[in-house]
Amino acid sequence: MMRHLFRRFFASAVLLAVAHVSFAQTPSTVLLQNLTWTELRDQIRAGKTTVIIPIGGTEQSGPFVAVGKHNVRAEYLSQKIAEKLGNALVAPVVAYVPEGGYAPPTSHMRFPGTITIPDDVFEKLLESAANSFAVHGFRNIVFLGDHGGYQNDLKQVVAHLNKTWATSHARAFLPPAYYDASSEGYAQILRQKGFRDDEIGTHAGLADTSLQLAVAPQMVRVTQLRASAKLGSADGVYGGDPRRSTAELGQWGVDVIVSRTVDAIREDTAGR
């Protein structure tokens, strides 16, 4: 009798130990690419039915910011947003986006390091990714685009997906708050702090560069930036002056982008 009880106790202890090890090995992350398929299955079943698709782009951002700016920033902000939502995961970043023509080179393609794809290829890529997530049980597919050049493409993708999914459980979302907050919303905050529009800029200026210093300072060549003369469009800087950029200024942008986007996603997906 005692031997039988001991065996039952021992077996239970082993099962508890295995379960504890399994739980301990599951990473605490919202990044889909860092999870196994079984971990993803279990998280979807447990209620993580929102997936964020961060969309960046590989393009020049002036002489002092690395060309992967949008990719790193889109993932960082999406991760912060997903963590605050509590029911969301983050897909791998889409790094290949429309950036102009290459025969002849136009727009950002005039600068080395920029990568472009046609609009129709970009849209098909996003639709295919979204359909993949819908098949696996995600109900809310949220697109967050960090670059202004393809916002109309995103609107077309979302409209087409929602028409296709009219009788399904899935729904696509493009919360305007994300891009609005990162552009005009953030610029308005900087104006209130005393910065001029000819500093803030629209691309690679003070706003853009400060955001990058807050998100990934290693991607900004600060020493050379501080020592430079004022830059212009020939240098890849549009309408701004990044020389007074700081991580502190950038954090104001991070905070407003994350908070406004979280609120927008919650409102869009309420009751689903």
In the chain, domain spans: 28-269
Task: Check whether 241 has a pLDDT greater than 50.
Answer: yes
Q: What's this model's pTM, rounded to 2 decimal places?
A: 0.90
Per-residue pLDDT tens digits for 35-70 = 999 999 999 999 999 999 999 999 999 999 999 999
> pLDDT class for 3, splitting at 50, 70, 90?
low
* Mean pLDDT, residues 15-20 taken together: 47
Q: What homologous superfamily is domain 28-269 in, according to CATH? A: Creatininase (3.40.50.10310)
Q: For residue 74, is pLDDT > 90? A: yes
pLDDT in tens, 133-152: 999 999 999 999 999 999 99
Phi-psi region of 98 (alpha: psi -120 to 50; beta: other; left: phi over 0): beta
Residue in the structure block whose two tokens are 């700016």:
69
Burial 98-108 (b: 16+ CB within 10 A, else e): bbbeeeeeeeb
Residue 127: how many other CB atoms lie within 10 Å: 17
Q: What is the pLDDT of residue 27?
A: 83
> How many Cα atoms within 13 Å fall on the side-chain side of residue 55?
27
